[in-house]
């Protein structure tokens, strides 16, 4: 474990532009993978909620003609896939910028290890934490009047998570600078992360929406797990594909 975390500084870092393009390529792969997951898994989870929402709309608007849908379901699926791919690329652009700034502070003996570590942190802060505090709900759940409140809660959760991650990173860097070993630093990081998580879950307000009694719990949880799974695929793709592409750049520069 110590050998993995104690990184040497024997190699010159690759040019940022080259590293940036490789990480963005990884984001493209990650976005496409998440898009396929959406078509195969998330779509199945969202279908019952859409049926329930359509049944409600039909019951409330009986006798009224609402016209045809602007987009067919097939067009919506294609648009969703392309949107997921684009989201992967945009996320990778931000990820690459952050990686370029903190690369020298990340643990690991290779760019593959460093990229996967940063991707794991990104998933924990930007996907897992919001899923614990304000989990995603299917279309049949949620009061339109509380959209602003829910958005504010989601934003506050993300902001607190990012701040907590930065503070834990500062703590780890300070401990390593003082000569604290890997075991002690790891324990301190875990404890600090647990305390930060507890504070965020307690202090940030909860979702104000109650789940209607006519929405089966299985529909809600299948959608939540599928949504989190899609984000996991996205972040794993960025970590593995982006890390592999970035590592090839580093190894190629060493061979010259």
Q: Distance between CA atoms of 108 and 6, rounded to whole angstroms? A: 7
Residues 121 and 29 in one domain: yes
State how many domains the chain has. 2
User: What pLDDT digit, counting tens, does each position of 130-170 carry?
Assistant: 999 999 888 877 777 788 899 999 999 999 999 999 999 99
Question: How far is CA 246 from each of CA 96, 174, 175, 200, 241, rounded to the nearest angstrom?
Answer: 10, 27, 28, 34, 9
Residue 113 has which token pair?
């290890």
User: What pLDDT digit, counting tens, does each position of 2-13 carry?
Assistant: 444 444 444 555
Question: How far is CA 179 from each of CA 3, 58, 172, 173, 185, rounded to the nearest angstrom?
Answer: 15, 67, 11, 10, 10
| Prediction pTM value | 0.85
Q: Could you give phi then psi for residue 88, rounded to 5 degrees? A: -65, -40
Residues 95 and 163 in one domain: no
149 assigned to some structural domain: yes
- In terms of phi and psi (left: phi > 0; alpha: psi -120 to 50; beta: otherwise), the region of 67 is left
The residue from 195, 210, 225 where one domain ends is 210
197 assigned to some structural domain: yes
Residues 86 and 163 in one domain: no
Confidence tier at 17 by pLDDT (50, 70, 90): confident
Residues 91 and 194 in one domain: no
pLDDT at 209 over 90: no
Residues 221 and 169 in one domain: no
30 assigned to some structural domain: yes
The predicted pLDDT at position 14 comes to 65
The predicted pLDDT at position 254 comes to 57
Residues 192 and 155 in one domain: yes
The predicted pLDDT at position 252 comes to 61
């Amino acid at each position: 474990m110590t050998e993995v975390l104690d990184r040497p500084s024997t190699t010159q870092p690759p040019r940022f532009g080259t590293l940036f393009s490789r990480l963005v390529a990884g984001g493209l792969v990650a976005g496409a993978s998440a898009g396929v997951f959406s078509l195969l898994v998330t779509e199945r989870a969202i279908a019952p909620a859409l049926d329930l929402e359509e049944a409600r709309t039909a019951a409330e608007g009986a006798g009224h003609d609402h016209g045809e849908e602007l987009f067919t379901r097939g067009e919506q699926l294609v648009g969703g896939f392309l949107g997921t791919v684009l989201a992967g690329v945009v996320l990778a652009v931000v990820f690459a910028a952050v990686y370029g700034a903190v690369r020298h502070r990340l643990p690991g003996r290779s760019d593959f290890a460093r990229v996967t570590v940063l991707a794991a942190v990104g998933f924990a802060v930007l996907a897992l934490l919001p899923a614990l505090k304000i989990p995603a709900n299917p279309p049949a759940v949620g009061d339109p009047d509380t959209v602003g409140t829910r958005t504010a809660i989601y934003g506050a959760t993300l902001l607190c998570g990012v701040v907590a991650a930065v503070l834990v990173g500062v703590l780890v860097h300070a401990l390593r600078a003082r000569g604290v070993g890997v075991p002690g630093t790891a324990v301190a990081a875990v404890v600090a992360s647990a305390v930060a998580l507890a504070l965020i879950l307690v202090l940030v307000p909860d979702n104000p929406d109650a789940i209607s009694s006519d929405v089966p719990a299985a529909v809600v949880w299948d959608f939540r797990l599928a949504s989190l799974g899609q984000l996991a695929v996205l972040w794993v793709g960025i970590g593995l594909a982006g890390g592999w592409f970035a590592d090839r750049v580093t190894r190629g520069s060493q061979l010259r």
